[in-house]
A and B are shown apart, each in its own frame.
Chain A
Amino acid sequence: QVQLQESGPGLVKPSETLSLTCTVSGGPITTYYWSWIRQPPGKGLEWIGYIYYSGTTNYNPSLKNRVTMSVDTSKNQLSLKLSSVTAADTAVYYCARALGSLPYMDVWGKGTTVTVSS
């Protein structure tokens, strides 16, 4: 079955850019929408945005100015970049497959913890 695996640095310095990759295995990256979601320690879920396999993106308005998502269909990989990070960006970051362009995320990665600290 489809599996998602997030990867990237666990520690990022303030003001730098957070970069994560999500590798999709066991199924196609095409025909699906792919979301990034984050969860600060002890807090709730926050939708960051989604990307369609064609490259179409849609971002959370509160993060729009700092977020860039991309897709590499040849590698079955998604990427997330979040610039000018602060401590408030410390969170577990998840990638998830969505059923259409709707908030129905049926397959999730295990998540990766990113801490923003000097």
Chain B
Amino acid sequence: QSALTQPASVSGSPGQSITISCTGTSSDVGGYNYVSWYQQHPGKVPKLMIYGVSDRPSGVSNRFSGSKSGNTASLTISGLQADDEADYYCTSYTSSTTYVFGTGTKVTVL
């Protein structure tokens, strides 16, 4: 299975909104509403930010939102803050009943 495709980097200024894309195929992202997103600060453990395409776990800021269109899922961070600077990974369930991660996106707050 091939990794989902994410942009290597996305940047924005404090207060702005940014969107990270996650492109797969009809056998993963496009075929199921089972996409999740993780935030990983340098040297830290990944944290679940979004599951089920657009649901937020308890405690995750509503500045984080998820969506999907066709084979591409997206994570939007609104009101960008310094602490949002991290790596972000999408994950999807696949038709082989396995999981596949995205290539990862480094978010920089200018």
Q: Which residues of A contact B (CB under 8 A)?
A: 35, 37, 44-47, 49-50, 58-62, 94, 99, 101-106, 108-111
Which 10 interchain pairs have the tightest Cβ spacing? Answer: A103-B99, A44-B104, A104-B51, A103-B91, A47-B99, A108-B45, A45-B101, A106-B48, A102-B34, A104-B36
B45 touches A110 (CB 8 A): yes
**Cα separation A94 to B46 with both chains bound (whole Å):** 10
B64 within 8 A of A: no
Q: Which residue of A lies closest to B51 (CB)?
A: A104
Q: Which residues of B contact A (CB under 8 A)?
A: 1, 3, 34, 36, 38, 40, 45-48, 51-52, 57, 87, 89, 91-93, 96-104
Q: A104-B36, A106-B57 are in contact. Are A99 and B101 (CB under 8 A)?
A: no
B48 touches A105 (CB 8 A): yes
Chain B residues near A46: list those with CB within 8 A. Answer: 101
Q: Which residue of A lies closest to B57 (CB)?
A: A106
A45 touches B38 (CB 8 A): yes
Chain A residues near B98: list those with CB within 8 A. Answer: 47, 49, 58-61
**Cα separation A111 to B3 with both chains bound (whole Å):** 22
**Cα separation A103 to B93 with both chains bound (whole Å):** 6
A104 touches B48 (CB 8 A): yes
Chain A residues near B89: list those with CB within 8 A. Answer: 44-45
**Cα separation A58 to B93 with both chains bound (whole Å):** 12
Q: A44-B101, A44-B102, A109-B45 are in contact. Are A61 and B96 (CB under 8 A)?
A: yes
